[in-house]
Structure 1
Amino acid sequence: MVKIGPIELSDFPLLLAPMEDVSDPPFRAVCKDNGADMMYTEFISSEGLIRDAMKSRQKLDIFDYERPIGIQIFGGDEEAMALSAQIVDAVNPDLLDINFGCPVKKVVTKGAGAAVLKDIDLMVRLTAACVRSTRLPVTVKTRLGWDTDSINISEVAERLQDTGIKALSIHGRTRSQLYKGNADWTHIARVKENPRIKIPIFGNGDIDSPEKALEYKNRYGIDGIMIGRAAIGYPWIFNEVKHFMATGEHLPPPDVGQRVEVIRKHLHKSIEWKGLVPGINEMRRHYNNYLKGLPNIKEFRLKLVTLRSVEEIDEVLDQINTAYTGFTFERRKIDMDSMAYSCG
């Protein structure tokens, strides 16, 4: 059993990575249904929380059925991070996670996310400020380093553990790589093999199939895996990985009925949480990923992204279910490059 403070997880937990504009409550709901052991909110600006910015506050929404759930924050100012940790504490998630890995320019130029990798002393101060300011277990998600010439994850892991964090998730790329090239898990393995490291170490980056998940588990010895892009439009990845690890066999790909059921739940959760119009509009970017692999789906997809009433969308989903009943999906390699998102 893996423990993060008082949180007890399975022997090898699968975590849903926090993804900006993706891992909101509707998406998290369908991932939880399909085997995600622990999940995180989209990352939240510490400055936004302090300013009481509406978008930042909305990202604090969590629900009991999601537990265990972590709220992730980012920032580059000690006082702002400490105050944000107190705000998060009041919402009562299961843990507080700090993002030191986001590589996108709009975050890095503010001295937050992966920018902090250039100043380990600052990273330690920011983390310690959060640990002191909350009763929650504090965890961190980060990258290997700023670039290939400054990979410092071994030092980072030791020093962050010393601040009192309860787990560390490592994306196997540097900031300069963004999401290009291959994630290098050998550095993650070195952290895990370090006898000084006592906290759980989770690996992240390029997990796109049950085979790779099992291979990386065995090769790198990590305590669990964090899955991000591979779950976009395919929340079944979590149960597929678990089944393959337990049996060595593949679950059949979800049929059209299962896909329509998940789309429908995602849609209705989106409307319930965001409101009718934004819920319908924001769901439009998900249909293509859910329906990938269906032949001649363009006409149906066009209707889904243009209709404005939930009743009409439900009717089109029924039509898709009927039209493709009996269609057999092939097991597909997930196109990770097409699943890019803002941060993680």
Structure 2
Amino acid sequence: MTVQYAPARRGRVLPPLRIGPYAVDTPVVLAPMAGITNAGFRRLCREQGAGYYVCEMITARGLVEKNPLTFRMIAFDGDEHPRSMQLYGVDPASMRRAAEMIVERDLADHIDMNFGCPVPKVTRRGGGAALPFKRKLFERIVRAAVEGAGDRPVTVKMRIGIDDEHHTHLEAARIAVDSGAVAVALHARTASQRYSGAADWSAIARLREAVPAHVPVLGNGDIFSAQDALDMVARTGCDGVVVGRGCLGRPWLFGDLEAAFAGRELPAPPNLGQVAATLRRHAVLLCEHMGDHKGIRDVRKHVAWYLKGFPVGSDLRRSLGMVTSIGHLDDLLAELDPHEPFPADADGPRGRQGSPGRVVLPEHWLDDPDDPSVPFGADVEHSGG
């Protein structure tokens, strides 16, 4: 199949993104990221621009078993709407019960399902990006979530497949839609790529052609700027973009995306003083959400992403990476030159990249794609996408 690429263009390239009964003018989704997309970070991003903001992944088993940690992760601001939750699971029974609990306890308005995790501890048990290969089991899981969710929309996120010899995204998307999923998102890498190399946007284009036109197809992979998003839409025909690593240390990316999709000029890049103010706001929100001690410790991992490319000395970087309080953070940020312009080379990949590798699978996993058996012990509490 030959995919025709259209030139990138500015202006409103898409209508509002609709997920079931919910619509947003800016067709952008924040990808769930473990240890990142908590309520504090989502609020920070929502302050920058419109979109769908999905919480950290929740395991179906953890929800069903009322795991205290799982329930602490289910936190939404009072004005956060729709409340989007991502579920991970490999057992149709657990997935159905988890979806039912979400409805009964009014825990979320929208359920996204994770079939994209490439982490070995997940794939070796048949979960994550390994699971769509088992098409019968995949169908049972998606259908169970849809039936358990009632009138709340269910969406599915996946990868191209296990590796270059085992692509599953086209068949899995058709199964998901036939089972009641209202949208599908594709991270355009295989599990064996993990986060390395370049995303294959042509796979998103093929998926858009394979799925009924009324079902939104969202593209994920290598969205590091507003222009990347416009390019992806123009080249693939997708209905929206999913942003993950590109917003690490750059929550203002959502403001850029909102402007780009509305046809407005992009805001000027922030100088170091504005970046420092955003970092401080992030720290305050984390402390409000997690408590002072955990919140200030959590912000430490974001420091390097915020300061990427800026000429900040190693001693000050090290001190910021060990900050102990908001007051301490204020003192350290005061040492920065607030007029330092945003560095031209700060765009591009950030966060984990790693290298490609063999996907670890359960023994005989690839023998029979129609085996509906639930893999033993696959419901691990782990995130990814």
State the percentage of identical aligned residues: 34
**Structure 2 residue 312 is matched with structure 1 residue 296:** yes
SS of the equivalent of 2:161 reads: coil
Q: SS at the partner of 1:65? A: coil
Does the residue aligned with 1:146 lie in a helix, a strand or coil?
strand
* TM superposition shift of 1:58: 1.5
Give, in angstroms, the shift of residue 92 of structure 1: 3.5
Aligned to 2:22: 7
Deviations 1:162-189 (A, max 9, x none): 1111111111111111112221121211
2:143 paired residue among 110, 118, 128: 128
Aligned pair count reads 340
Post-superposition offset of 1:333: 4.7
Deviation at 1:247, TM superposition (A): 4.4
The 2-side partners of 1:294 and 1:123 are apart by: 45
In structure 2, the partner of 1:334 is 347
**1:185-264 aligned within 5 A:** 185-194=201-210, 196-247=212-263, 249-264=265-280
For residues 55-70 of structure 1, the aligned pairs below 5 Å read 55-70=69-84
Match of 2:372 in 1: none
Aligned partners of 1:147, 1:125: CA distance in 2, in Å?
23
When normalised by structure 2's length, the TM-score is 0.83
1:194 deviation in Å? 3.0
Change (3 A) 1:80 1:127: same
Deviation string 1:230-283 (CA, Å, 9 cap, x unpaired) is 000011112223334444754321122321222112111111121221111111
Relative to structure 1, the CA distance from residue 333 to residue 302 in structure 2 (aligned partners, 3 Å threshold; closer, same or farther) is: closer
Question: For residue 234 of structure 2, what is the amino acid of its counterpart?
Answer: N
Q: Which residue of 2 aligns with 1:81?
A: 95
Point out where structure 1 has 5 or more consecutive residues left out of the alignment: none
Match of 1:98 in 2: 113
Match of 2:359 in 1: none
- Look up the match of 1:48: 62
Question: Does the CA-based 8 Å contact 1:207-1:227 persist in structure 2?
Answer: yes
CA distance in 2, matches of 1:273, 1:332: 33
* Structure 1 Cα separation of the partners of residues 208 and 61 of structure 2: 33
CA 240–120 in structure 1, closer or farther in 2 if over 3 Å, else same: same
Which residue matches 1:22?
Answer: 36
- TM-superposed CA distance for 1:218, in Å, is 0.9
Higher mean alpha-carbon deviation, 110-119 vs 329-338, is at 329-338
Other structure's SS at 1:181 match: coil
Aligned letter for 1:114?
A
**2-structure distance, mates of 1:67, 1:190:** 31
Question: TM-score when scaled to structure 1?
Answer: 0.92
Q: Which moved more, 1:334-343 or 1:171-180?
A: 334-343
CA distance in 1, matches of 2:232, 2:322: 42
CA RMSD, 1 decimal = 2.0
1:281-318: CA deviations, max 9, x gaps? 1111111111223213433333323342322222322x
SS in 2 for 1:19: coil
Higher helix share: 1
SS at 1:199's partner residue? Answer: coil
1:308 maps to: 324
Match of 2:171 in 1: 155
Pair 166,295 (structure 1): closer, same or farther in 2 beyond 3 Å: same
Give the direction of change, closer, same or farther, for the CA distance of 1:104–1:259 in structure 2 (3 Å limit): same
Amino acid at match of 2:29: L
Q: 1:93 to 1:195 in 2, by over 3 A?
A: closer
1:140 to 148, 156, 161: 156
Aligned residue number for residue 119 of structure 1: 134
Once the two structures are superposed, residues 7-29 of structure 1 have per-residue CA deviations (whole angstroms, 9 ceiling, x without a partner) of 0121x511111111111111111
Distance 2:256 2:211 in 1: 32
Query: Whose relative contact order is higher, 1 or 2, with alpha carbons under 8 Å and at least 6 apart?
Result: 2
Partners of 1:335 and 1:54 in 2: how far apart? 37
**CA contact under 8 A between 2:32 and 2:244: conserved in structure 1?**
yes
Q: Displacement, 1:195? A: 6.2
User: Gaps spanning 5+ residues in structure 2: where?
Assistant: 1-15, 355-382
The reply to whether residue 343 of structure 1 matches residue 343 of structure 2 is no
